Amino acid sequence: VHFTCNPGFRLVGPGSVVCLPNGTWTGEQPHCRDISECSSQPCQNGGTCVEGVNQYRCICPPGRTGSRCQHQAQTGAPEGGVAGDSAFSRAPRCAQVERAQHCSCEAGFHLSGTTGDSVCQDVNECELYGQEGRPRLCMHTCVNTPGSYRCTCPSGYRTLADGKSCEDVDECAGPQHVCPRGTTCINTGGGFQCVSPECPEGSGNVSYVKTSPFQCERNPCPMDSRPCRHLPKTISFHYLSLPSNLKPPITLFRMATASAPSRPGPNSLRFGIVGGNSRGHFVMQRSDRQTGELILVQSLEGPQTLEVDVDMSEYLDRSFQANHVSKVTIFVSPYDF
Ligand SMILES: [Ca+2]
Ligand SMILES: [Ca+2]
């Protein structure tokens, strides 16, 4: 008698047996066993083979992926990414349609590798959109994640509801005081400053008095003191917060006379920059008869703090009356937002 097995099974034991004169069969009785898909040891790199009907499946050790664990899982992620994560490549979902295998990936993954060896690789959206000429995905930093990406903002900023824009946190608007008593909180891009402007020290017959947290006034000069009269009658303090790399020209600040209605005001004004650490970045010019403008003419890169002192001198019939100084401090954030 000859034995054969159905497809997918193999014969264990002799292929034929013969009937002996004593009424028994020669040798042992053969039987059919499921063909072992794992017998060829298809799983590489320490993968464990699991039997299925007419197919096998490999369970891969960490760091390995693919139908036979033949691929090294992508570990590195671009800046700020989660490293050492095998989640960036996954096994595709495959279906056997007649003789062909059709594989597909979840959203955010693309199929790579050859047929039979295919693997779903994460789409690196940050790299894809970081290329020249393409729109930026994130205002600040793009972090690639398995199947997606996310945007992060630097400290001192919060991410807006659109998930990509960053907005400065106004530390000064909070319920608790972030600045010590006697100082004033100035919100800046990415942080804040505590300021307490001081009036100039008096000397001789010149002295100043603080009339508000941001204003000093010179006490009246003795009648005969010309040097005293040429010192600023008022000194005011102003604080501005700007992002980096603003496109000039930009009007930052306006200064105008505040003449009392009871007496005739000056009939001419002169404006100029009289101090600070950054004169080259600014010009001061008249915008109308009463007003001068401080204009940013060079783009500023942060983080840095600039100071510029602008002066407005009042003349009545060409004779000097008084001058006023505005001390403008500009906090430039490290970012373009
Ligand atoms: Ca991704
Ligand atoms: Ca802030």
pLDDT tens-place string over residues 309-327: 999 999 988 899 999 999 9
Query: Is the pLDDT reported for residue 156 higher than 90?
Result: yes
Query: Is the pLDDT reported for residue 168 higher than 90?
Result: yes
What CATH class is the domain 184-258+265-332? Answer: mainly beta
124 against 56, higher pLDDT:
124
Q: Which ligand is nearest to the CA of 110?
A: 1
Q: How far is the CA of 123 from the centre of ligand 1 (A)?
A: 5
Decide which of 1.10.3470, 1.10.10, 2.10.25, 3.40.50 is the CATH code for 125-168. 2.10.25
Of 1-10, 62-71, 155-164, 174-183, the least confident: 62-71
pLDDT of residue 76: 39
Q: Which ligand is nearest to the CA of 137?
A: 1
Q: Which ligand is nearest to the CA of 157?
A: 2
φ, ψ of residue 112 in degrees (nearest 5): -135, 170
Q: How far is the CA of 193 from the centre of ligand 2 (A)?
A: 9
Prior bond of 303 cis (ω within 30°): yes
Average the pLDDT over 160-166 and give the result.
94
> What percent of the chain has a predicted confidence (pLDDT) above 90?
51
pLDDT of residue 161: 94
Q: How far is the CA of 146 from the centre of ligand 1 (A)?
A: 5
Q: Which ligand is nearest to the CA of 90?
A: 1
Question: Which residues hold their Cβ within 5 A of ligand 1, which is an ion?
Answer: 122, 144
Q: Any idea where the domains of the chain sit in the sequence? A: 125-168, 184-258+265-332
Q: Which ligand is nearest to the CA of 334?
A: 2
pLDDT of residue 85: 54
The mean predicted confidence, pLDDT, of the chain is: 85
Q: How far is the CA of 78 from the centre of ligand 1 (A)?
A: 10
Prior bond of 62 cis (ω within 30°): no
Q: Which ligand is nearest to the CA of 108?
A: 1
Q: Which two tokens stand for residue 330?
A: 């500009």
Pairing of strands 71-72, 304-316: unpaired
Q: Distances from the Cα of 181 to the Cαs of 185, 194, 318, in angstroms? A: 10, 10, 45
Query: Is the pLDDT reported for residue 333 higher than 70?
Result: yes
pLDDT digits (tens, 9 = 90+) for 8-19: 677 777 888 788
